């Protein structure tokens, strides 16, 4: 992979990481009141796949979709303002963290209903095939959604009609607080999708270069009529299911085994690429520190602006709502 591309992937992953971590303090001190599912640790998936899309391609997210929003071209300002539920946010302050949308960049929505946008992505792929506009649709969902019937109905229809859709399963090994080993006979979800006779792959979701390679190949397949594709990315969230930690019954802790958490922290996708850039003499450690400092200052400024922005006026709460 050439130098410019490596830098672009790193910059976007770093942006997502610093934005996500910037929410920790305001969540903890009560300034942010809506539920927030942080994407820290999974950045390589959104960035690796979505960097290969064109502006006309569309994606649909889930409850943990800040990374998808930013990787598809959404602005940091729009995201942070929305998490504070301000009128200046991407959903005009009416959605909060889990109801994001940005049609201008092809981010057509995220919802907290498990598996809720899978069929919408299927519809977008069907529309693309009917219109013959060469658009690819991507549905992001977690391992928990692999227990929803709509996923298999959607895969089957996509397979029958050879639709240009990529089903992206971000398998972080936990459905809220339930480890995957306790709810499935096999930890590999792609095995199930393979039964529909479509291309499936299981990939290290913390290796952004590998993610990018497989994502680009899947997108190409869909563009030339060889869709759908099912990609399972093995990854791990570095924060709790919702919020900075699991906060079970008021205790701020993480219920996952500490040895497991530590082993995945050592595979942090941002630090892995950062180390490679330093060893390749693309950046020095000082340049990396300066880059982080500048970006952090920009994010901090946006937080301050968001806190001063107006909430939606009570008389206008039903605006932008289809009834």
Structural contact between residues 13 and 270, judged by C-beta atoms closer than 8 angstroms: yes
CATH number of the domain encompassing residue 231: 3.40.50.970
- pLDDT at residue 168 in the model: 98
* 320 part of a folded domain: no
Which whole number is the average pLDDT over 289-310? 98
Tally of domains within the chain: 1
Find tokens 């096999």 and name the residue.
Answer: 186
* 43 part of a folded domain: yes
What's CA 199's distance to the chain center, in Å? 22
Rg of the chain on CA atoms, in Å: 19
Residues near 34 by beta carbon (within 8 Å), at least 6 away in sequence: 83, 85, 96, 97, 98
* 44 part of a folded domain: yes
* Pairing relationship of beta strands 229-234 and 199-204 according to DSSP bridges: parallel
Structural contact between residues 67 and 4, judged by C-beta atoms closer than 8 angstroms: no
Residue 52 has pLDDT above 90, yes or no: yes
* 181 part of a folded domain: yes
44: containing domain: 39-75+104-283
- pLDDT at residue 1 in the model: 83
Encode pLDDT of 111-130 as tens digits.
Answer: 999 999 999 999 999 999 99
* 27 part of a folded domain: no
CA dihedral over 310, 311, 312, 313, signed as positive or negative: negative
- pLDDT at residue 236 in the model: 96
* 20 part of a folded domain: no
Encode pLDDT of 226-283 as tens digits.
Answer: 999 999 999 999 999 998 887 665 666 778 888 999 999 999 999 999 999 999 999 9
pTM of the predicted model as reported, rounded to 2 decimal places? 0.95
What's CA 39's distance to the chain center, in Å? 7
* 318 part of a folded domain: no
* 149 part of a folded domain: yes
Question: Could you give the percent of the chain with pLDDT greater than 90?
Answer: 87
Q: Spell 93-115 as b/e; 16+ CB within 10 A means b.
A: bbbbbbbbbbeebbbbbbbbebb
């Amino acid at each position: 992979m050439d130098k410019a591309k490596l830098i672009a992937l790193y910059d976007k992953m770093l942006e997502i990481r610093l934005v996500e971590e910037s929410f920790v303090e305001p969540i903890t001190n009560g300034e942010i009141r809506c539920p927030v599912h942080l994407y820290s640790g999974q950045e390589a998936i959104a960035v690796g796949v979505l960097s290969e899309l064109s502006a006309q391609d569309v994606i649909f997210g889930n409850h943990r979709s800040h990374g998808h929003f930013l990787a598809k071209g959404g602005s940091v300002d729009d995201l942070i303002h929305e998490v504070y539920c301000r009128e200046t946010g991407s959903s005009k302050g009416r959605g909060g963290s889990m109801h994001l949308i940005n049609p201008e960049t092809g981010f057509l929505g995220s919802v907290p209903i498990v598996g809720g946008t899978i069929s919408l992505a299927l519809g977008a792929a069907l529309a693309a095939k009917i219109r013959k506009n060469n658009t690819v649709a991507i549905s992001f969902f977690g391992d928990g959604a692999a227990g929803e019937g709509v996923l298999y109905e959607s895969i089957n229809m996509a397979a029958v009609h050879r639709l240009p859709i990529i089903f992206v399963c971000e398998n972080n090994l936990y459905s809220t607080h339930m480890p995957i080993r306790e709810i499935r006979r096999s930890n590999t979800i792609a095995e199930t999708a393979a039964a529909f006779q479509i291309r499936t792959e299981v990939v290290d979701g913390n290796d952004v270069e590998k993610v990018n390679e497989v994502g680009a190949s899947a997108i190409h397949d869909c563009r030339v009529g060889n869709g759908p594709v099912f990609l399972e990315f093995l990854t791990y969230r570095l924060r709790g299911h919702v919020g900075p930690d699991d906060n079970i019954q008021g205790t701020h802790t993480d219920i996952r085994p500490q040895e497991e958490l530590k082993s995945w922290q050592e595979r942090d996708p941002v630090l892995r690429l950062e180390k490679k850039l330093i060893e390749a003499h693309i950046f020095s450690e000082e340049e990396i520190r300066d880059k982080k400092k500048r970006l952090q200052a920009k994010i901090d400024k946006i937080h301050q602006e968001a806190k001063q922005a107006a909430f939606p006026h009570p008389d206008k709460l039903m605006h932008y709502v289809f009834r």
